[in-house]
Structure 1
Amino acid sequence: MEKQLISKKDLLDEKGISYGQLYRWKRKQLIPEEWFIRKSTFTGQETFFPKDLILARIDKIMNLKEDLSLDELADKLSPLLPSYEMRKSDLIERNIVSPIVLQRFAGEDSDSYVYTFDKLLYFYIVDKLLQAGEMSMEEGEQLLQTMRDHFPKFAGKPCDLVFTRKMGVSSFALLSVPAELYFDGGVKLVSRLSVAECIEQLKGKWA
């Protein structure tokens, strides 16, 4: 499965931004280094970007830059996990994660138990796929274990979660982005989620 790319020239033309703006945002880490993809073309080396990701990111920057400084934006958009914490009772009260997910996956914890951001992120991603109707509770257990075992290895680098099934057997994988994935004909891609986008969404629920 190949992500569609957009050239730097087409990106600047489509969004009406300058070369200087683009690279200033890169220096401020508003746009990840990994999204700048160098490819050989008939005119030489050119820079491309994952199209959906870069267009959504630039829209977000343009919408927020009037209200936030570039440093504040960088903190908001960073894939690094913040030091936020939240009690189980507050999670329920603010409906950040649905009660059924907390009951199933955090049922033994008291209402005063405090979760770190990474644990909240795992619950949030499970909840997201369950509410989309794409995953069973049993698969949720498998996803949680995948996140616990492998997400810390990325150490703040952006990654995608890939959820597949083959002959009724589900699998989860985390991969660095941007990356291209190809499957044999018997594999169904159920979902591919940007973990960085999930982090942004979860951060937004603290506001």
Structure 2
Amino acid sequence: MSDELISKKELLELTGISYGQLYRWKRKNLIPEEWFVRKSSFTGQETFFPKEKMLTRIDKILNMKDDLSLDELADVFSPNPGEITLQRQSILERNIVSKLTFELYMQHHEPSDWFSFDQILCMYVLETMLKNGSITQVEGEILIQTMEDHYGAFAGTDCELALIRKMGVPMFALLPASCEVHFDRDVKWVSRISLSQCIQELKLKIGESEG
């Protein structure tokens, strides 16, 4: 699985942004360096981008830039959430996740009043996949274990949570973003979620509830 690429020229024409805006956003870390892909073309070297990711990111920047500074936007898009912690009551009252999701998560943890950002992220991913029908509650337990066992190895980098099934048996994997993975023909891709995107959504959700 890999993203379709779009050239820099096509990107600027399609979005209406300028060359200067694109590289200013790059300098401010609103767009990751690794999304600027240099490839050979008949005119020499040309810059390409993962099309879907770039169009989604530019749309978000344009929609939020009137309310947030570039530095504030950079914090939203950064994979590093800082020292964000929330209490149980805040998580539920602010509707960051549902009571059902929270209780499912807590079945595997000691009672606690405070939760780290990584813990809240795990709950948020769990809720996202439960809501879109990708997983059952039983599979949610496997998701929690996978996130807690392996997400630390990817913290601060762009990664994805993948769900596949073979003969009805679910398997989760954490993968570097946009890497190509190939399985035998009996394996079915069910879902592949960008954790960086989940982090952005969660940061915005927490920020909105604090505002």
Q: Which whole-Å CA distance do the structure 2 matches of 1:129 and 1:17 have between them?
A: 33
Alignment-derived partner of residue 87 in structure 2:
87
Alignment-derived partner of residue 72 in structure 1:
72
Whichever residue aligns with residue 91 of structure 1, its letter is I
Q: Deviations over 1:15-47 (max 9, x none)?
A: 112222111111100001121122223332222
Work out the number of aligned pairs and report it: 206
Whether the 8 Å contact between 1:2 and 1:182 is mirrored in structure 2 is no
Query: Shift in Å at residue 113 of structure 1?
Result: 1.0
Whether the 8 Å contact between 1:3 and 1:180 is mirrored in structure 2 is no
1:148 and 2:148 correspond: yes
Q: Which whole-Å CA distance do the structure 2 matches of 1:78 and 1:114 have between them?
A: 23
Q: Which whole-Å CA distance do the structure 2 matches of 1:101 and 1:80 have between them?
A: 24
Whether the 8 Å contact between 1:97 and 1:124 is mirrored in structure 2 is yes
Whether the 8 Å contact between 1:96 and 1:205 is mirrored in structure 2 is yes
Q: Deviations over 1:125-167 (max 9, x none)?
A: 0111011111012211111111112211123111111111111
1:35 and 2:35 correspond: yes
1:139 and 2:139 correspond: yes
Alignment-derived partner of residue 174 in structure 1:
174
Query: Shift in Å at residue 109 of structure 1?
Result: 4.9
Percentage of matched positions with identical amino acids: 53
Q: Which whole-Å CA distance do the structure 2 matches of 1:164 and 1:31 have between them?
A: 29
Whether the 8 Å contact between 2:88 and 2:115 is mirrored in structure 1 is yes
Alignment-derived partner of residue 45 in structure 2:
45
Alignment-derived partner of residue 62 in structure 2:
62
State TM-score, norm by structure 2.
0.91
Give the 3 Å change call, closer, same or farther, for CA 182–45 of structure 1 in structure 2.
farther
Whether the 8 Å contact between 1:34 and 1:177 is mirrored in structure 2 is no
Cα-Cα RMSD: 1.6
Whether the 8 Å contact between 2:2 and 2:178 is mirrored in structure 1 is no
